[in-house]
Amino acid sequence: MTNLGDLEIFARVVSSGSMSAAGRALGFSPAVISKRIKRLEDRLGTRLLQRTTRQISLTEAGQGFYDRVLGILTGIEEAEAYASGRSSQAQGVLRISAPTSFGRMHIAPHLTGFMKDHLDLKLHIVLTDDFTDIVAEGFDMAVRIGELTDSSLVARKLAPVRRLLCASPDYVARNGAPNEIGDLARHFCLPAHNNDNWKLEGPEGSLVWHPEGPLVTNSSEIVRAAVIAGAGIALRSTWDIGPELRSGQLVQVLPQWEGSKNLTLSAVYPSRQFLPAKVRLFIDYLAALYGPVPYWEQ
């Protein structure tokens, strides 16, 4: 039967992109890495890595094998954590990927509350707006906003996402508030950072509006600052501008229209038979935190 170390080494070689780098990471000499990759390939009777002396790439068999090996390794990790930690205590390292803005505003502030209940757990949080492949990147879970489709992942809904049109009071004072959807054409519209069209739902059904405005950016934070500064009308999520709405820094316009409803805030994780306790506990924590009605909606 395969030596487990070989699988670990193989996975590390793939993720780091080089045998030498894997050797450094794992504390082995390059010679060992080379020998064990070779042994693994010999036993499998297949070439897993296509290598020139300068570069390494996965063969098709290697890619499929790698996908599987990742699952196996985390499975072993989970089994060991279960047996060691027992009684479903969280321990080890919990690796999370989350959207930048949401992570900063609604995850980061609550982390200490979770950590003080789980002293044996280390958190490793990466904020990015790319939809990274969480299993290939080695994340235990991700927080996502959107419509979810990837079938190899399991999603648990954390909260609905409401998006509404808003502007600053002084913008409204200067330009007036739109009364019907067509009025938007006469306003400054601030597209979202991903530059999407606005999918709106209203009393007359749904429509797609293509926002045109003076500002295009890839940063959600800049759009946010711009609309608060009075630059125009934006379609923002309630989790993003809830406090500003309450404080009066922003007001809702065209309240009969809202962003398309099939967006959700979700926790996603690889589908496995045994969910690590650390992942389950953290998702439970977030779900309890955001509740049936999130605090930013109240």
Partner DNA sequence: TTGAGCTTTTCCATTTCGGAAACAATGGCA
Partner DNA sequence: TGCCATTGTTTCCGAAATGGAAAAGCTCAA
Binding footprint of DNA on the chain (CB under 7 A)? 3, 5, 18-21, 27-39, 51-56
Whole-angstrom distance, CA of residue 290 vs CA of residue 298: 11
Instruction: Pick what 28 binds: DNA, a copy of itself, none; C-beta below 5 to 8 Å, kind-dependent.
Output: DNA
Instruction: Pick what 140 binds: DNA, a copy of itself, none; C-beta below 5 to 8 Å, kind-dependent.
Output: none
Whole-angstrom distance, CA of residue 237 vs CA of residue 164: 6
Work out how close the CB of 58 gets to DNA at its nearest, in angstroms, rounded to a whole number. 13
Buried b (16+ CB within 10 A) or exposed e, 86-106: eeebbbbebbbbbbbbbbebb
Asked if residue 94 lies in contact with residue 124, where contact means CB atoms within 8 angstroms, the answer is yes
Q: Which residue spans within the chain are E strands per DSSP?
A: 49-52, 55-58, 92-98, 121-127, 141-146, 153-160, 163-167, 189-190, 198-202, 205-209, 233-237, 251-252, 258-259, 264-270
Instruction: Pick what 93 binds: a copy of itself, DNA, none; C-beta below 5 to 8 Å, kind-dependent.
Output: none
- Specify the DSSP element, H or E, that contains 94: strand 92-98
Instruction: Pick what 91 binds: DNA, a copy of itself, none; C-beta below 5 to 8 Å, kind-dependent.
Output: none
> With binding defined as CB under 8 A, does residue 8 bind a copy of itself?
yes
Token pair 């496995």: residue = 272
Instruction: Pick what 64 binds: DNA, a copy of itself, none; C-beta below 5 to 8 Å, kind-dependent.
Output: a copy of itself
> With binding defined as CB under 8 A, does residue 160 bind a copy of itself?
no
Work out how close the CB of 71 gets to DNA at its nearest, in angstroms, rounded to a whole number. 23
Interface residue with a copy of itself, options 79, 93, 207, 293 (CB under 8 A): 79
Map residues 28-47 to x or -, x wherever contact with a copy of itself holds by CB under 8 A: ---------------xxxx-
Instruction: Pick what 19 binds: DNA, a copy of itself, none; C-beta below 5 to 8 Å, kind-dependent.
Output: DNA
Whole-angstrom distance, CA of residue 225 vs CA of residue 231: 9
> With binding defined as CB under 8 A, does residue 69 bind a copy of itself?
yes
Interface residue with a copy of itself, options 29, 152, 195, 197 (CB under 8 A): 152
> With binding defined as CB under 8 A, does residue 280 bind a copy of itself?
no
Interface residue with a copy of itself, options 71, 138, 160, 213 (CB under 8 A): 71
Interface residue with a copy of itself, options 57, 84, 206, 218 (CB under 8 A): 84
Q: Which residue spans within 121-240 are E strands per DSSP?
A: 121-127, 141-146, 153-160, 163-167, 189-190, 198-202, 205-209, 233-237
Instruction: Pick what 35 binds: DNA, a copy of itself, none; C-beta below 5 to 8 Å, kind-dependent.
Output: DNA
Q: Are strands 264-270 and 153-160 parallel, antiparallel or unpaired?
A: antiparallel
**Nearest CA to 105 among 263, 241, 217?**
241
Asked if residue 159 lies in contact with residue 294, where contact means CB atoms within 8 angstroms, the answer is yes
Q: Which residues are near a copy of itself by CB under 8 A?
A: 1-5, 7-8, 43-46, 48, 61-62, 64-65, 67-69, 71-72, 75-76, 78-80, 82-84, 86, 152, 270-274
